[in-house]
Amino acid sequence: MDKFEPKIVAFCCNWCSYAGADLAGTSRIQYSPNIRIIRVMCSGRVSPLFVLKALSVGADGVLVLGCHPGDCHYIEGNYKTLRRIPLLKKMLKQFGIEEERVRLEWVSASEGARFAEVANSFTKTIKKLGPSSLGSSKQNYQEEKYG
Amino acid sequence: MRKITIDPITRLEGHGRIEIFLNDAGDVDKAYLQIPELRGFEKFCEGRPAEEMPRITTRICGVCPTAHHMCSTKALDDLWKVEPTSTAKKIRRLMYNAFVAEDHIFHFFFLAGPDFVVGPQAPAGERNILGVIGKVGMEAGGKVIKVRKGLRGVIQTIGGKVIHPVCGLPGGVSKVITEEERKDFIEAAEYAVEFSKWALELFDNIVLKNTEYVDLVTGDIYKHRTYYMGLMDENNKVNFYDGDLRVVDPNGKEYVKFKGRDYLDHIREHVEPWNYMKFCFLKNVGWKGFIDGEDSGIYRVAPLARLNAAEGMATPLAQEAYEKMYEVLGGKPVHNTLAFNWARLIEALYASEEMLELAHDPELTSPDIVNLPTETPKEGIGVVEAPRGTLFHHYQTDEKGILTKVNLIVATTNNMAPIDMSVEKAAKSLIHKGEVSDGLLNMIEMAFRAYDPCMACGTHALPGQMPLEVTIYDAQGNELKKLSRGIS
Amino acid sequence: MAKPKVAFYWCASCGGCEEAVVDLNEDILKVADALHIIFWPVALDFKRKDVEALSDGEIAVSFINGAVRSGEQEEMVKLLREKSGLVVAFGSCAHLGGIPGLGNFWTRDTIFRRVYKETPSTENPEGTLPQQKTDIGVGELTLPEFYDTVKTLDQTIPVDYYLPGCPPPPDLIMNAINAILAGQLPEKGTVLAPSKALCDTCPRNETKPQKLSIAEIKRPWEIKLDPEKCFLAQGVICLGPATRSGCGERCIKANMPCRGCFGPVDGVLDQGAHFLSALASIIDYNDPEEIQKIIDDIVDPAGTFYRFGLPASLLRRTKM
């Protein structure tokens, strides 16, 4: 029987969370294979547009991971993220997209285990929510502009 | 059975179509006017902040956006239970009168003018704005552009944009008026009064002195005995901005007078599967179908209806013109549909006169333009008279002022059933034994054009007339004959 | 040389764009002189057969306004595309979906139910709904199909140029027409308006602080709006930063904030997401609780950030 395997995109900042993910790997800590990681220099680089694009092309869930507040390599970047993601989640609700499909977490470079924990718990959440079904209605979302 | 299709008719919100069904004898069995458009404002405004409605609902109609803007702003006053400042009310009324005057003048000259000025039987090639100019002189066209520009300039100054103004706020308006701007308002208003007087004189010389045309106006083809409704001040004089709603029966007697807030005690909308637009009727009389008379809940709105429901006009020159019209047409109420066009000019004069009064008001330039709301919003109803009829905006919100329910009754919906009836009656009176002529086209046109249905953007017709095509099919659906006018 | 043939057509439109052309006032005579207007359903004849009879590309330019939300509209714009050399999306609705695009928060069923059954003034005991075909005994009446989803013009046919605005201001319209007459049009796909953001040309620009920061959101009715100060600096949401310039700031001059009708500047894929990002960046707090409090005061983000551009956005509509 087909079990639903979510497609999850995780935007990880270069200095903290990506390094944390790396550490999880080298430490041989098992974590959900549903995560597709995209490295950005800072979580502040994650435009709401990226999250919308990921959802519109079929991601069932989107993780945004950054440095703990106060530790951002670029000083303020993650504060911007801290303001953007909650507002984005509020707006997504109006589109019928559950708030739980987008999550913001802080993961430092030394937190390999935490990265795995976040990945696993988020995957569980999305499995319970089911497919986002946005990507599947190709008619609505995948038409490219003409000309 | 034969079917005649008139498609499209223009100057309606979106597109319109008339379908005429003939019986075996070639006489008209039934005729229908269909509006094939719906956008769903009553649903998609749910979830929007109420204060945005004056800027969203203007997009219901780009010809009368100011009507929606004003009605919506008044609904917000009611929603937040806040009284606008005295200056704000004057600014709003000035802008609103400028709008009604402009809209009426334009409709008369570009839409209805050709029929009246050149005559309904004139050759098709002359029934357009060029024919009008030929009859009354080059100046006429220039005058209309000038008065329109002046009045629209007033709306733009107050509202920011003339198409889709923005200044309405609960408790007031957003912008203060300067003394410089006042001078422009006075100039535009003075010219509008002169122009409206001239327009009525023109009507007198060219229409009323033409017996053929007078016969058409007073004849039976375009006549319906219905109820009439309009917004009145406490003296039962026509008021576009505020007042109570007065309904008179087909004999002219007051049937009911009620506050806009109580509209649900009196108005209902009927649905037919062949039309996207609904049909209003008086709830307490009931829907009896598309028929005339005291027992049918059908009522009419817009210029003639307002004058019928009123006991006079609030400004002197308009009052004179009002008295004259009823004298000529034989007393109140007047049931002749084509008289809408005459009443329209009288209203333009009233609007111009009132605008001039307001333009001179010392309070106009006061900085006290808004009272900030302090109450918690829940429910608000706004009513105004749009040029084309009574307009209702009804909002319900949560305690943060986010809309939960919206109801809109747009001006033309009040007249939708009468328009259908007028079209059918004209068709039945004019088509016999399956014979259709060019005159038919124009005369059916005149039946609904008198109502100036919402979306009268056909105003700019360079040929000056609505193109019509009538196709006659036999019972097998084969095309037998095609008549057209205004089609290149 | 023959005058170029020009057509104006309207889809789900309010007619404001038609009025905007008439507002060219005296200039319209110059236009009428230089162009041969062969279609304008509001004013001149429109007959499908006439369009069908033309050869491909015989119409030099078709100006199409209104969003696409019915079968009839879709057929008509496809026909016009075939017969036209150039197609210009005229106004916000054709460009971005416009106000009718807000219908994408709902479906045909929910809209019909509200309009024809639920509104308190509707009396419809049999639950009648408009039908595509109705048998009335003596014959049949039809209505065009009403779509669930509102589309922009370029989601329906290839579009060559865009004239933004609700409605486009007279000077932009004249510039476009003059460019067409002179044969001096920019690269295809261009929006025929400046490529700056509104803030750049806004008369209140000087009052915008170097570091703009909002400590409290104010809705336009909550305060007496200062007629000279930048709206965002007053805490009032204004879409200026994410909106293309060219409108003359008419709303700002009437002392009301921008609602984004000109759409995004070049290169921005999604105006609403862009504005969300900008607005969030200038919230004055770093503490999650304080941030949440401000966010609670930002009401209806989707309807505000996508007021004119829901169909053009990445997500286009709510989940069905």
What pLDDT, in 10s, does the model give residues C194-218?
Answer: 999 999 999 999 998 888 999 999 9
| CA gap C95, C154 in Å, rounded | 7
Question: Is A66 contained in some domain?
Answer: yes
pLDDT of residue B345: 96
Q: Is C44 in contact with B486 (Cβ distance < 8 A)?
A: yes
Find chain A residues with C-beta within 8 A of C318's C-beta: 94-96
Beta bridge partners of C134: C141
Chain B touched by C111 (CB under 8 Å): yes
Beta bridge partners of B5: B19, B471
Residue scoring higher pLDDT (B139 or C268): C268
Q: Which region, left, alpha or beta, applies to residue C97 given φ > 0 means left and ψ of -120 to 50 means alpha?
A: left
CB contacts < 8 A (B, C): 259
Chain A touched by C303 (CB under 8 Å): yes
Q: Which residue from A88, A132, A134 is facing C276, i.e. has the nearest CB? A: A88
Q: Is A83 in contact with C280 (Cβ distance < 8 A)?
A: yes
Q: Which residue from C154, C283, C301 is facing A94, i.e. has the nearest CB? A: C301
Q: Which residues contact A12 (CB under 8 A, 6 or more apart)?
A: A18, A20, A21, A37, A38, A39, A40, A65, A107
Please compute the mean of the pLDDT values over residues C105-129 and round it to a whole number: 90
What is the mean pLDDT, run by run of 10 residues, along chain B of 488 residues?
65 62 85 80 95 96 93 98 98 98 86 69 61 72 87 96 97 97 98 96 87 84 93 96 97 96 95 89 95 94 96 97 95 92 96 98 97 97 96 97 95 89 88 76 75 47 36 54 48
Residue pLDDT, tens place only, A48-91? 999 999 999 999 999 999 999 999 999 999 999 999 999 999 99
Residue pLDDT, tens place only, A101-122? 999 999 999 999 999 999 999 9
Question: Residue B213 to residues A19, B374, B377, B447: CA-CA distances in angstroms?
Answer: 89, 57, 53, 14
Q: Which residues contact A143 (CB under 8 A, 6 or more apart)?
A: C155
Find chain B residues with C-beta within 8 A of C14's C-beta: 58-62, 65
Structural fold of domain B83-222+337-372: Cytochrome-c3 Hydrogenase; chain B (1.10.645)
pLDDT of residue B474: 52
Residue B213's identity, in one-letter code, is Y
Find chain C residues with C-beta within 8 A of A47's C-beta: 273-274, 277
- DSSP alpha helices (H): ranges in C84-157? 92-96, 108-113
Kind plus residue range of the DSSP H or E element containing B309: helix B303-309
Instruction: Provide the CATH number for the domain formed by C5-99+151-182 in this structure.
Output: 3.40.50.700
Least confident of B9-23, B91-105, C160-174, C294-308: B9-23
Triad B140, B143, B147: Cα angle to 5° = 145
The ipTM value here is 0.94
Tell me the nearest-neighbour CA distance from A48 into chain C, angstroms.
Answer: 6
**Residue B460 burial (CB count, 10 A):** 22
Q: Is C188 exposed, middle or buried (0-12, 13-18, 19+ CB in 10 A)?
A: exposed
Full residue range of the structural domain in which residue A113 is found: 8-133
Find chain C residues with C-beta within 8 A of A80's C-beta: 280-281
pLDDT of residue B432: 84
Q: Is C301 in contact with A90 (Cβ distance < 8 A)?
A: yes
Give the 3-state secondary structure of residue C41: coil
pLDDT of residue C138: 76
| CA gap B471, B450 in Å, rounded | 24
pLDDT of residue A135: 55
Listed by number, the residues of chain C in 254-293 with a beta carbon closer than 8 Å to a beta carbon of chain B are: 254-256, 259
Closest C-alpha to C86, from C155, C166, C189, C165: C189
Number of H helices, E strands in chain A: 5, 4
Helix axes B65-79, B138-159, angle to 10 degrees: 30
Find chain B residues with C-beta within 8 A of C300's C-beta: 47-49, 402
**Residue A144 burial (CB count, 10 A):** 5
Q: Which residue from B8, B274, B409 is facing C41, i.e. has the nearest CB? A: B8
- Cα end-to-end distance, chain C, whole Å: 53
Question: Which residue in chain C has the smallest CA separation from A97?
Answer: C319
Q: Is A91 in contact with C320 (Cβ distance < 8 A)?
A: no
Chain B touched by C132 (CB under 8 Å): no
Closest C-alpha to B160, from C254, C171, C257, C228: C254
Least confident of A1-5, B123-127, C19-23: B123-127
| CA gap B229, B247 in Å, rounded | 4
Closest C-alpha to B348, from B230, B196, B140, B452: B196
Tell me the nearest-neighbour CA distance from C227 into chain A, angstroms.
Answer: 29
Question: Which residue in chain C has the smallest CA separation from A53?
Answer: C314
- Per the CB < 8 A criterion, the answer to whether C104 and C132 are in contact is no
DSSP summary character for residue B238 = B
Maximal CA-CA distance, chain A: 50
Tokens representing residue C268 in the block: 């921005």
Q: Is C320 in contact with A52 (Cβ distance < 8 A)?
A: no
Please compute the mean of the pLDDT values over residues C89-105 and round it to a whole number: 96
Question: Residue B376 to residues B79, B380, B397: CA-CA distances in angstroms?
Answer: 8, 12, 10
Q: Is B160 in contact with C253 (Cβ distance < 8 A)?
A: yes
Beta bridge partners of B382: B393
Q: How many C-alpha atoms does A18 have within 13 Å on its Cβ side? A: 14
Chain A touched by C315 (CB under 8 Å): yes
Tokens representing residue A32 in the block: 């959900």
| CA gap C202, B124 in Å, rounded | 50
Beta bridge partners of B300: B228
Question: Residue B380 to residues B45, B260, B407, C218, C282: CA-CA distances in angstroms?
Answer: 15, 10, 11, 22, 34
Residue pLDDT, tens place only, A11-60? 999 999 999 999 999 999 999 999 999 999 999 999 999 999 999 999 99
Q: How confident is the model at residue C43 (pLDDT cuts 50, 70, 90)?
A: low
From the candidates A83, A92, A134, which should be mutated to test the interface with C, based on the most C CB atoms within 10 A?
A83
DSSP summary character for residue B485 = E
Triad C128, C132, C138: Cα angle to 5° = 80
pLDDT of residue B483: 55
Cis, bond preceding B123 (omega within 30 deg of 0): no
Tokens representing residue B354 in the block: 């009132």
Q: Is C280 in contact with A133 (Cβ distance < 8 A)?
A: no
Indicate the number of domains in chain A. 1
Beta bridge partners of C64: C9, C89
Beta bridge partners of C142: C133
Beta bridge partners of A37: A10
Chain A touched by C317 (CB under 8 Å): yes
Q: Is the dihedral of CA C109, C112, C114, C117 positive or negative?
A: negative
Closest C-alpha to B306, from B264, B266, B278, B334: B334
- Highest-confidence segment of B130-134, C90-94, C114-118: C90-94
| CA gap B95, C27 in Å, rounded | 25
Listed by number, the residues of chain C in 152-171 with a beta carbon closer than 8 Å to a beta carbon of chain B are: 166-167
Give the 3-state secondary structure of residue B254: strand
Closest C-alpha to C38, from C60, C69, C11: C60
Find chain C residues with C-beta within 8 A of A60's C-beta: none
Q: Which residue from B60, B145, B488 is facing C45, i.e. has the nearest CB? A: B488
Give the 3-state secondary structure of residue B346: helix
Residue ranges of domains in chain B: 2-37+431-485, 83-222+337-372
Give the 3-state secondary structure of residue B120: coil
Q: Is A87 in contact with C302 (Cβ distance < 8 A)?
A: no
Chain C touched by B226 (CB under 8 Å): no
Edge-to-edge strand list for the sheet holding C5-10? C36-39, C5-10, C59-65, C84-90, C161-163
pLDDT of residue B487: 40
Q: For A138, phi and psi rounded to 5 degrees?
A: -60, -30
Tell me the nearest-neighbour CA distance from B314 into chain C, angstroms.
Answer: 31
| CA gap B20, B217 in Å, rounded | 24
| CA gap C65, C100 in Å, rounded | 12
Closest C-alpha to C172, from C91, C238, C251, C232: C91
Share of residues in chain C with pLDDT > 70 (%): 95
Q: Is C280 in contact with A84 (Cβ distance < 8 A)?
A: yes
Least confident of B75-84, C3-12, C309-318: C3-12
Residue ranges of domains in chain C: 5-99+151-182, 107-147, 198-305
Q: How many C-alpha atoms does B37 have within 13 Å on its Cβ side? A: 27
What is the helix, strand, coil percentage profile of chain B, to 5?
A: 45, 20, 35
Chain C touched by B379 (CB under 8 Å): no
Q: Is A97 in contact with C319 (Cβ distance < 8 A)?
A: yes
DSSP-assigned states of every residue in B4-71: EEEEEE-SSSS-EEEEEEE-TTSSEEEEEEE------HHHHTTTSBGGGHHHHGGGG-SSSHHHHHHH
Q: Considering the entire predicted model, what is its pTM?
A: 0.92
Closest C-alpha to C311, from C1, C11, C7: C11
Q: Which residue from B21, B43, B145 is facing C110, i.e. has the nearest CB? A: B43
Q: Which residue from B32, B163, B458 is facing C141, i.e. has the nearest CB? A: B32
Q: Is the dihedral of CA C184, C186, C191, C193 positive or negative?
A: negative
